[in-house]
Structure 1
Amino acid sequence: MASAMLFALFLFSALTFYPPSTTAQPVTDGNGNIVKNGGRFYILPSLIGAPGGGIRRIQTDNESVPLSVVQSPFQDDRGLPIIISSPILTEFLPEGLVFLSFQHTNISEWTVVEGLPEGTLVKVHGYPHTVKGSFFIKKAEPETNWYKLLFCKGVFCGNVAVVKNGNWLLAITQDEPYVFHLEQVLPTSADA
């Protein structure tokens, strides 16, 4: 009986802590504009003067193609355009569950791989032994346009953070998250 009561309290607290996506706040870019669901963005460090640049993918270790998701160590590097979408069919991107993928690549959707020498790392599909789970976008600081990503496997979640080990790898840890803002990728004449 006591275990049933504890389980009920857990469910109540979980549902209270993670409200349904239909009531989630819209994600905003660095200028405070509401971002479009499925839009293209650069993910950039939130603090002016923070080390490093945007997010990109590179080839590390024994990869035959670029499968590792990293933060560029160069401040002037905006990274690669990333498509961020929600399974909730709204025009705007709500906080909560998101899918992330690099634009204009065959292997592009983000996933997570456990058991690597550097830890649990963010990779793109195509890497063996991926973990079943989901990415979530949440506001990192109230009253700002700063966000963080979480990766959840069931009820267990970790922050997406930067692990520096030669490369600036995105990893799932309990350390401080990589805090970022979004910058919309402007269409080019090739997109028209």
Structure 2
Amino acid sequence: MKTSNAFSFSFFFLLALSALFTGAEFIYDSDGDILNNGGAYYILPPGFGGEAIKGAAIERSPSCQLAVVAEISYDKGWAANIRTPFPVKYITNDYPLNISFANLPSNDCTKTGDWVVIDLIGSEGEPIMAGKFEELKHAVSGYFYIKPYGSTRFYKLAFCYSTASCGYVTLMNTHTTSNRLLTVSLDRSKEPLVFKFVKATSSSGKVASGISMVV
């Protein structure tokens, strides 16, 4: 999640968060190539078919907000840029990360694709929204981390708060549509979102033209 200057972390804090995890390992895409810092990738289920990651508009008076969701889809969803603040070429499992949608289809919710975690007391998890950090109410500062999941090229996503507590990204049913919200949960009994990275190439990197609606 890209934070504002007011909530940016110091270099030493980043190192402290990184120190929570030991044994740095490179992160690989589905082709076996190491993830490039700032590269664009689709976040897809480990197998064939299933849910693709994209945005969905949630109606909020007087406007809407864009939630990050997993949706049953025949396409690859929306590509995401994966970046670390460190001046490195490749991504490892111990680098703090900002994630943002590489491109946004035309919409009235936001012009910024940054993934932002929202603190909602009493929810089943903290939802991930897309938008500008400063404009989203209850936005929390922190960074994402990519962690291996039991097999080469399969991963799960962690989010570490400024308090240094960390949770995994999970999926929560919306009860109204087939879309499932991406949320951050500190409950380790919940199954994390498991995925693989697929390069967003020039021929396959276009995002869908529409936005799904979650009421």
CA RMSD of aligned residues (A): 2.5
TM-score by length of 2: 0.71
SS in 2 for 1:42: strand
Larger RCO (alpha carbons 8 Å, 6+ apart): 2
For the Cα contact (< 8 Å) 2:57–2:64, is it kept in 1? yes
Name stretches of at least 5 consecutive residues in structure 2 with no aligned partner: 1-16, 105-110, 207-215
Matches of 1:181 and 1:190 in 2, distance apart? 16
Residues 1:171 and 2:183 are matched in the alignment: yes
Paired residues in the alignment total 171
Match of 1:93 in 2: 91
The equivalent position to 1:162 in structure 2, one of 162, 171, 176, is 171
- Segments of 4+ moved more than 2 angstroms: 14-17, 63-66, 116-119, 188-191
Matches of 2:114 and 2:35 in 1, distance apart? 20
Matches of 1:91 and 1:101 in 2, distance apart? 18
SS in 1 for 2:193: coil
For the Cα contact (< 8 Å) 1:57–1:66, is it kept in 2? no
Q: Deviations over 1:45-71 (max 9, x none)?
A: 11345xx32211110142734520001
Q: Residue type matched to 2:113 in 1?
A: S
Name stretches of at least 5 consecutive residues in structure 1 with no aligned partner: 1-13
Change (3 A) 1:122 1:190: closer
Matches of 1:68 and 1:15 in 2, distance apart? 27
Change (3 A) 1:84 1:15: closer
Greater helix percent: which structure? Answer: 1
Q: Deviations over 1:27-58 (max 9, x none)?
A: 10122211211100000011345xx3221111
TM-score by length of 1: 0.78
- Give the structure with higher Rg (CA): 1
